[in-house]
């Protein structure tokens, strides 16, 4: 009897489970359908790129603005109209091989291009928009400035030290500008050392775009310490200079040399004898600075360009009048970078090292006039730049106090990494 009851219970359980399984098959669990989101809008150059065909390319040797537009469906008549309309803002003849560009076309493949973007450099770009009316404008990509610090001790030379520290050599050039009168960077010694606070530019937080500014630095040369703090001394004109901790201007009226990191190959010498000319006296009224062809030549002081031409043994040269007393001249350039009548500031690039005129090698012959007479610049008691106004002293002190503390906390370890 008991056995019969157990059999009945087993049959009941079996049919009960079967029913539950059938219910599960009839009413399956609800399936969640994931809603597709639209693709994110990608914006660049001020346009939503999702709305266009985006063609990215690089200008090749022999390419022209008109040829590029023609290949994207723009008629010659329209190219002429565009070129003529933008000529005062964008000289299409100056687009250079190697520069990237972007063309935006409607997604309707039967239509021609509407926008041309010329990438001037990592930050600057020029947009030519001919969608309806013709417009041209220049823009900059958003740049983030990141403050960095670095320090190092010179073991052999500045270049090697910067390589070992994985530092941009642009920082070295900026330091050379700051200390152009107080430190001779061509005669650095092992054991000289530096600390620097500077900014670096980044696009999209990750793409390096060059060095921003030196905010403050400290250099020890032959046991002498020199602080340098950037400070805007003329807020109206936005002019900034570098001052030491006592508010003394580090810049003099004239730089020591018109070329950075070069060597003097021939000095000013009125009694120079040349063997080639039978040891006759051939006065040398300039100072020659040897450097590779293409090296930038700098204006040694503020002034007005009075000559920028090519003439005889001088080759291509630039002459600058600084005031009623001083003039300078820079000979044998490969090309000039300024024109007559331009105002230049100390440190501006005015040309490039070359071998034009009478010269046996690449260099710049630097000539220096005082009261209309050529003199040796290294024997002149040249004036210093204007000191900081008394009214700005309290503001200056407030400005440099945290920077000086930050510099003093940086160590001089030779294996420092950029923070």
Contact predicate 370/230, CB 8 Å = no
Residue 12: pLDDT band with limits 50, 70, 90: low
- 116 with 160, same domain: the answer is no
- 375 with 283, same domain: the answer is yes
Of the chain, the percentage scoring pLDDT greater than 70 comes to 84
* pLDDT tens profile 66-83: 999 999 999 999 999 999
Question: In terms of residue numbers, what domain contains 241?
Answer: 143-252+385-419
Greater model confidence, 166 or 279:
166
- 245 with 389, same domain: the answer is yes
Q: What is the CATH number of the domain that holds 395?
A: 3.10.450.350
- 115 with 57, same domain: the answer is yes
- 243 with 272, same domain: the answer is no
Residue 419: pLDDT band with limits 50, 70, 90: very low
Pairwise CA distance, residues 32 & 116, whole Å: 45
* pLDDT tens profile 83-140: 999 998 999 988 999 999 999 999 887 789 999 999 999 899 999 999 989 999 999 9
- 237 with 179, same domain: the answer is yes
- 287 with 298, same domain: the answer is yes
- Bridge partners of 106, per DSSP, are 52
Q: Residue 258 domain-assigned? A: no
In the prediction, which pLDDT does 6 show? 54
- 79 with 121, same domain: the answer is yes
- 303 with 408, same domain: the answer is no
**pTM of the predicted structure, to 2 decimals:** 0.61
Pairwise CA distance, residues 240 & 385, whole Å: 12
- 271 with 368, same domain: the answer is yes
User: Average pLDDT, stretch 151-173?
Assistant: 84
Q: Residue 31 domain-assigned? A: no
User: Average pLDDT, stretch 279-296?
Assistant: 80
Domain end marker among 87, 118, 140:
140
Of the chain, the percentage scoring pLDDT greater than 90 comes to 46
- 160 with 132, same domain: the answer is no
In the prediction, which pLDDT does 22 show? 56
Strands (E), 204-302: 207-221, 224-234, 239-243, 263-266, 273-274, 280-281, 287-290, 296-298
In the prediction, which pLDDT does 194 show? 93
Number of domains in the chain: 3
Greater model confidence, 256 or 273:
256
Q: Which of 226-230, 301-305, 372-376, 385-389 has the lowest mean pLDDT?
A: 385-389
Other CB atoms within a 10 A radius of the CB of residue 379 amount to: 8
| DSSP run (H or E) holding 116 | strand 115-119
Tokens for 73, please give them.
């469906």
| DSSP run (H or E) holding 268 | none
Domain end marker among 89, 109, 140:
140
Of the candidates 141, 129, 125, the one whose C-alpha atom is nearest the C-alpha of residue 43 is 141
Q: What is the CATH number of the domain that holds 331?
A: 2.70.70.10
Is the per-residue pLDDT at 149 higher than 60? yes
In the prediction, which pLDDT does 417 show? 45
Is the per-residue pLDDT at 387 higher than 60? yes
- 122 with 199, same domain: the answer is no
Q: Residue 211 domain-assigned? A: yes
Ranked by mean pLDDT, the top range of 234-243, 248-257, 377-386 is 248-257
Domain end marker among 140, 168, 183:
140
């Amino acid at each position: 009897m008991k056995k019969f009851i157990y059999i009945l219970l087993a049959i009941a359980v079996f049919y009960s489970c079967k029913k539950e399984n059938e219910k599960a098959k009839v009413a399956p669990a609800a399936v969640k359908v994931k809603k597709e989101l639209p693709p994110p809008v990608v914006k660049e150059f001020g346009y939503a790129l999702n709305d266009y065909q985006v063609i990215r390319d690089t200008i090749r040797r022999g390419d022209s603005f008109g040829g590029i537009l023609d290949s994207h469906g723009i008629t010659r008549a329209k190219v002429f109209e565009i070129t003529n309309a933008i000529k005062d803002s964008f000289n299409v003849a100056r687009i250079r091989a190697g520069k990237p560009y972007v063309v935006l076309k409607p997604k309707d493949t039967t239509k021609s291009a509407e926008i041309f973007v010329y990438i001037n450099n990592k930050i600057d770009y020029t947009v030519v928009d001919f969608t309806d009316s013709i417009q041209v404008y220049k823009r900059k990509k958003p740049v983030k400035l990141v403050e960095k610090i670095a320090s190092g001790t010179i073991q052999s030379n500045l270049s090697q030290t910067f390589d070992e520290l994985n530092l941009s050599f642009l920082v070295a050039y900026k330091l050379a500008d700051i200390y152009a009168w107080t430190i001779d960077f061509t005669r650095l010694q092992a054991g000289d050392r530096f600390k620097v606070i500077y900014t670096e530019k980044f696009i999209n937080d990750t793409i390096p775009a060059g060095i921003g500014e030196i905010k403050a630095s400290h250099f020890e040369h032959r046991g002498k310490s020199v602080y340098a703090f950037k400070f805007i001394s003329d807020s109206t004109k936005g002019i900034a200079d570098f001052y030491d901790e006592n508010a003394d201007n580090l810049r003099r009226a004239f730089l020591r040399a018109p070329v950075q990191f070069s060597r003097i190959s021939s000095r000013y010498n009125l009694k120079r004898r040349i063997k080639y000319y039978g040891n006759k006296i051939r006065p040398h009224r300039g100072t020659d600075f040897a450097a590779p062809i293409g090296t930038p030549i700098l204006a040694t002081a503020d002034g007005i360009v009075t000559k920028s031409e090519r003439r005889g043994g001088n080759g291509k040269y630039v002459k600058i009048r600084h005031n009623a007393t001083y003039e300078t001249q820079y000979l044998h350039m490969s090309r000039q970078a300024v024109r007559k009548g331009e105002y230049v500031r100390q440190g501006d690039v005015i040309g490039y090292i070359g071998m034009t005129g009478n010269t046996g090698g690449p260099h710049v012959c630097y000539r220096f006039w005082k009261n209309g007479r050529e003199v040796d610049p290294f024997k002149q008691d040249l004036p210093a730049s204007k000191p900081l106004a008394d009214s700005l002293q309290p503001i200056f002190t407030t400005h440099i106090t945290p920077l000086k503390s930050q510099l003093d906390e940086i160590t001089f370890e030779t294996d420092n990494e950029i923070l």
